[in-house]
Chains A and B, each alone.
Chain A
Amino acid sequence: MKRVQFNRPLLPYLLILPQMAVIVIFFYWPSAQAIQSSFYIEDPFGFGATFVGMANYQDILSSREYLKIANFTVVFTFLVTFLSLAIGLLLAVKADKVIRGSSAYKTLLISVYAVAPPVAGLIGVMFFDQHIGPFVDLAAWFGWDMRVGIDYWDTAIAMITISVWKQIPYNFIFFLSGLQGIPVSVVEAAAIDCRSPVRRFWTVVLPLLSPTAFFLLIINMTYALFDTFGIIDTTVKDKAANNPITLVYKVYMDGFRGNDIGGSSAQSVILMLVVFVLTVFQFRFIERRVHYT
């Protein structure tokens, strides 16, 4: 906060009022409701609710279906995070190197940032379509009968590919700005000391990029967990039965399709804890990061 500040009794409250009103009505109220209804079983026909303590949580955590989805979510999150970080980094390193055409590359590589996840999902679904999809034809060449939307892992591959595609620009932007933030003197000194560019990359450049990479790691995990909703929704096309879905999608399915309000709320609370842990991690790290720069 500032050393010099205004000292008015009423004005700051007025200034902050709109933001607080929105947050209380649309954030705290629903969140409190989620926590509350996670301890109740609601009558499906709307005739009141019964307090059941931790029963909703026990049901979820002992359900094999939920554990399967949780497993898939972990695999999905790992692959999406890893692949989009790796490809983003590779492209950023190359874009940082070339001189001719570098701004054209940059523009082309970042524009997919602006594509909405469900739109990305729709285009992806077309590419993996049984009738018109080139990827299915390509797979058929190798004798692989790809059936996206029917076969569990084929659908998963399509979902992961689309999610990675959508996230690469974000990582590319951050890695490129990280690379450009490395002082020229450091790069030159390293070039004098070590001939091998590959070794220079691993021992000098990558450690200097590690704060960016760590920050991106958390962001990508949150992306894979939450922002991929639109991609999953368009890929499974409302037929979640045999298809892979993530935990967030399950919250939506149970709440809006299954009308299981207690169970859906309890899942929300579990996810809240996951996000909470991730965010605490992120902020502890950001404090450390200050020392780097």
Chain B
Amino acid sequence: MNKTRIFDHLVLLLGVAFMIGPIAVAFLTSTHDPYEIHMKGLMTSWGGDFVATYDKVLFEKGGFTGKVTGLAMLKNSFILGIGFAVGKIVLSMLAAYAIVYFRFKMGVVFFWMIFTTLLLPLEVRILPSYEVMTKLGLVDTYSGLIVPLLASATGTFYFRQFFKSVPEELLEAARIDGAGPFKFFVDILIPLSRNMIAAIFIIMFVYGWNQYLWPMLMTTDESFFTLVRGIKQILLVWVGAQIPDYNQAFALAVLAMIPPILVVIVFQSWFIKGLTESDK
């Protein structure tokens, strides 16, 4: 009995080492200076350059891109993550409310039109999407960055499923008490959906924050770069350099990882619940 338990822990510890090891090494390496890294390879110890490196990456213009600071990219990442999550929740709650709680002729048609968007990820229709954006003049704007990403059905489906599970008696009772559609939505449905909204917010925030391909195409002006988008720039500089600034590259990667990881860890139970219950 005891032996198997030790074996279980051993497997789990190996798993943790495999998953967390690279992140820890990335962080530790970012605290050393590039020459040392170049000579000795990746680091598993704490170096002395933590403050200097992160100060440079966050506040100094230049570095990789020549125009934008890490702090500005951090800000853009938050705008994209939060903007996307809020936009998604608002749009999909309203749409799901209409589909579930109203009788209207086009309801079924709309439902299927929304449903179809599940079939095609953005990556597949990337070039025509880009052309549409240039026609609309939305390249290098925050709306161009956020709004097209909202064109998918996932959120609507989560809320549709959830609204369908809300007992019918609630609506009957509310109507008897004279509540209209607006009052019912604001006073009953939104408070009931609180956990659901939190869970979806977390999932969508991480999704928005981690977007790469779309920001890469939509932002040519560096002042709109997000941290994840900045990764591409790091690698481009890399290819030519004699001794690349390994430490700064790792520092930027660490900055790009910390906020979404914190959100997932801190709101773990909501996040897991949202993920496993809504995806089914």
Contacts and interface: CB of A to CB of B under 8 A. Distances in A.
A271 B234 CA distance: 30
Interface residues of A, number: 97
Contact of B126 (A13, A168, A255, A279): A255
A15 interface: yes
Interface stretch (A63-71, A119-127, A151-159, A187-195): A119-127
Interface string B237-256: 01100000010011001001
A222 interface: yes
B128 A124 contact: no
A33 B42 CA distance: 47
A23 B276 contact: no
Interface of A: 1-9, 11-13, 15-16, 18-20, 22-23, 25-31, 33-34, 37, 87, 90-91, 94-95, 97-98, 101, 105-119, 121-127, 131-134, 137, 165, 168-169, 173-174, 177, 197, 215, 219, 222, 226, 229-230, 233-234, 237-238, 248, 251-252, 255-256, 261, 264-265, 268, 271-272, 275-276, 279, 286, 289
Contacts of A31: 120, 125, 128
A33 B117 contact: no
A101 to B, nearest CB: 8
B125 to A, nearest CB: 5
Nearest to A216: B279
Given A16-B95, A31-B120, A126-B42, A115 B261 contact: yes
B123 A226 contact: yes
A262 B129 CA distance: 14
Contact of B15 (A23, A109, A118): A109
A13 B91 CA distance: 13
Interface in B111-135: 113-114, 117-121, 123-132
27 contacts: A12-B104, A15-B94, A19-B114, A20-B110, A22-B148, A26-B150, A27-B125, A30-B125, A90-B15, A110-B272, A116-B210, A118-B228, A119-B256, A126-B246, A126-B249, A134-B42, A168-B15, A177-B276, A229-B213, A252-B123, A252-B126, A252-B213, A261-B127, A265-B128, A268-B127, A272-B125, A276-B119
Given A34-B128, A275-B124, A118 B231 contact: yes
Interface in B196-231: 206, 209-213, 217, 228, 231
A97 B235 CA distance: 42
A29 B132 contact: yes
A108 B19 contact: yes
B263 A114 contact: yes
B5 interface: yes
Contacts of A20: 95, 110, 113-114
Contacts of A255: 126-127
Given A31-B125, A115-B261, A91 B181 contact: no
A126 B92 CA distance: 40
A114 B172 contact: no
Interface string B27-58: 00100000001100110000000000000000
Nearest to A278: B119
Given A25-B136, A173-B276, A272-B119, 15 more contacts: A2-B100, A6-B103, A13-B104, A15-B95, A22-B91, A23-B113, A25-B151, A95-B12, A110-B264, A121-B231, A122-B253, A127-B42, A233-B212, A268-B124, A268-B126
B79 interface: no
Top 6 A-B residue pairs of the complex, sorted by shortest distance between their CB atoms: A116-B210, A114-B260, A12-B102, A30-B128, A255-B127, A15-B98
Given A18-B94, A122-B235, A134 B41 contact: yes
Interface of B: 4-5, 8-9, 11-12, 15-16, 18-20, 22-23, 25-26, 29, 37-38, 41-42, 90-92, 94-95, 97-104, 106-107, 110, 113-114, 117-121, 123-132, 136, 147-148, 150-152, 156, 164, 168, 171-172, 175, 181, 206, 209-213, 217, 228, 231-232, 234-236, 238-239, 246, 249-250, 253, 256-257, 260-261, 263-265, 268, 272, 275-276, 279-280
Residue from A12, A90, A234, A248 with most neighbouring chain B CB atoms (10 Å): A12
Contacts of B41: 131-134, 137
Contact of B120 (A8, A27, A265): A27
B228 A5 contact: no
A229 B123 contact: yes
